[in-house]
Amino acid sequence: MKAIILARVSTEEQKEAGNSLPAQIERLKSYCKRKGFEIAKVFSFDESAYKTKRDDFDRALEYIKSAKEKIVVCFDKVDRFSRNVFDKRVSSLYELAMKDKIELHFASDNLIITPDISATEKFHFGINLGLAKYYSDAISDNVKRAYENKIKKGEWIGKAPIGYTNIKDDNENKDITPDPARAHFIVKIFEMYATSNCSLLFIKDGMEKLGLKGTANPDKALTKSMIYNILKNPFYYGMMRIKGELYPHKYQPLIPKALFDKCQEVMLGYHKKPFKYASKPFVLRGMIKCADCGCTITPETARGHIYYSCTNYRGYHKKRTYIREEDLMKPIYDVLKNIKLPDNKIQMITEDLKRTHEAKNRFHEQSLRVLRQEYDKTQKRIDKAFDMATDGCITTSMFNKKLKEYKEKQEEINEKIERYTQADEKFYLTANTVLKLAQKAYEIFQSSEISEKRQLLNFLLQNLKLQGKKLLFELKTPFDTVLQVNKCSTLLRW
């Protein structure tokens, strides 16, 4: 049988830590030789599995689809296939394998996908994809934590708002300072609006006459929305808003908070009575679509019960059909009860996952080794620079500049090491946590508040539709296979 080899990397660490393209290709060639496969073509490319546009992978996919006979598609590991379980290419190749048009081989994971695989293999494949995504997400989360630390230090991430300017000091450190050309305009905008006698349009026209532009681009005209955004931005009195939360920043405020609050009071208006609308809590609100017309199924309360019905926005139905919430929940309760796995199956699957991911552990160790070598290399440079400064070969100023540069590099390396370490510590723990959640899904659901119930259902279910009075839905991966595994009396390796 002919075989196609696909090798992929997406980061420098992967290239340097035993996961380089030549290393992958060499392993896969040896694998094909052991299996007796004839190598028809080799694809190798450097692109992220999270990109929507993956030209190199798409070319390989088209080649595979055009094959006139059954072929074997070889990857080194599942995470070389994809780290995005929602990637359409994953389902495309998986469907070809299920139609027996191709075989998917993951050499280092010792996993083969064919139409004859058991529910356990399907579950392993789903878990492998899920854990690959988790591994990448865990590193991403730690990058976010690094940004959070900057926020806690009062450092703004991004372009400075109008009235401020981004600069770099003599040591190349980024900073934000008031813009001498425009800061006074911002103060004037707040002072004018606080009088409650100036509209947004009046202020815009006045600022334009004085020469204020909305951005650094002189062709960009000032608009009312820009004035509104300036008046709503707490950055000008010393706070920065990030994802709806306020944090103090370390930069020079342009206005006092009292002036900002006065402007918010004027904007709100004394004649208005602000209120906060809180939707009534319903477990399935906004989660179900009508199977016939595609409109949303909405809840309402009548005679002490909660009923759901189609909005019939498109006028498809002649008569609205109402169904009680407890009737809709019955099939969901059945799934939550049947998704439970016994302890012996939990233990068996968890142990098997550990064995199949030994290759990932090796990659992890190699990555850390490369980072530590880079750290030691930088430390030797610091020691050498110190000796040169002591001997008078370089000035103290030159030494301080290089020392700062090297220390920043070491700090970056330490952050990478910490991210990799934390991701590794949680890697297998996550698999066991997912299985434990499945084991106690019904009990957790019953004891949760409505908001928590909604989160759990969104985590487990997808494509909820109401057909007549019957609720249709699908379980998300890997819980769909957990349900299949639970129906098997014995778990056997393929």
List the alpha helices (DSSP H) in 440-478: 441-446, 450-460
What distance separates the 2 farthest-apart alpha carbons in the chain?
A: 93
pLDDT tens per residue, range 407-453:
778 777 876 776 666 555 555 555 555 666 667 778 888 888 887 78
Contact yes or no for 460/441 (Cβ under 8 A): yes
* Beta sheet of 102-106, edge-to-edge order: 38-46, 2-9, 71-75, 102-106, 111-113
Q: Give exposure, 59-70, as e/b (b: 16+ Cβ within 10 Å).
A: ebbeebeebeee
Q: Looking at residue 466, what is its pLDDT?
A: 93
Tokens representing residue 180 in the block: 């001498």
pLDDT tens per residue, range 166-182:
998 778 888 999 999 89
Q: Looking at residue 273, what is its pLDDT?
A: 37
The CATH T-level fold of domain 164-268 is: Hect, E3 ligase catalytic domain fold (3.90.1750)
State percent of the chain over pLDDT 90: 18
**If you average pLDDT over every residue of the chain, what do you get?**
78
Residue of 68 and 288 predicted with greater confidence: 288
Residue of 367 and 15 predicted with greater confidence: 367
Beta bridge partners of 164: 178
CA–CA distance, 278 with 275 (Å, rounded to integer): 10
Residue 189 has pLDDT above 90, yes or no: yes
Q: Looking at residue 24, what is its pLDDT?
A: 85
Give the closest residue to 39 by CA, choosing from 49, 47, 21, 27: 27
Q: Looking at residue 161, what is its pLDDT?
A: 92
Mean per-residue pLDDT for 341-355?
A: 66
Contact yes or no for 6/80 (Cβ under 8 A): yes
* Beta sheet of 470-475, edge-to-edge order: 289-290, 461-467, 470-475
Contact yes or no for 276/204 (Cβ under 8 A): no
Give the closest residue to 386 by CA, choosing from 400, 368, 372, 374: 400
Q: Looking at residue 82, what is its pLDDT?
A: 61
Residue 12 has pLDDT above 70, yes or no: no
Tokens representing residue 429 in the block: 């723990």
Q: Could you state, in order of their start, the residue ranges of all structural domains in the chain? A: 2-116, 164-268, 289-340+446-487
Opening angle at CA 359, ends 356 and 364, nearest 5: 125
Residue of 386 and 224 predicted with greater confidence: 224
The one-character DSSP state at 115 is T
Same fold: 2-116 with 164-268: no
Residue of 477 and 178 predicted with greater confidence: 178
Q: Looking at residue 20, what is its pLDDT?
A: 76
Which residues does 170 contact at the CB level (< 8 Å), separation at least 6? none
pLDDT tens per residue, range 17-29:
446 788 888 888 9
Residue 276 has pLDDT above 50, yes or no: no
Handedness of CA 423, 425, 428, 431 (dihedral sign): negative
Long-range contact list for 28-35, CB < 8 A, 24+ apart? 28/74, 28/75, 28/76, 28/107, 29/5, 31/74, 31/105, 31/107, 32/3, 32/5, 32/72, 32/74, 35/3, 35/72, 35/105
* pTM of this structure: 0.35
Residue of 46 and 35 predicted with greater confidence: 35
Residue 84 has pLDDT above 70, yes or no: no
CATH class of 2-116: alpha beta
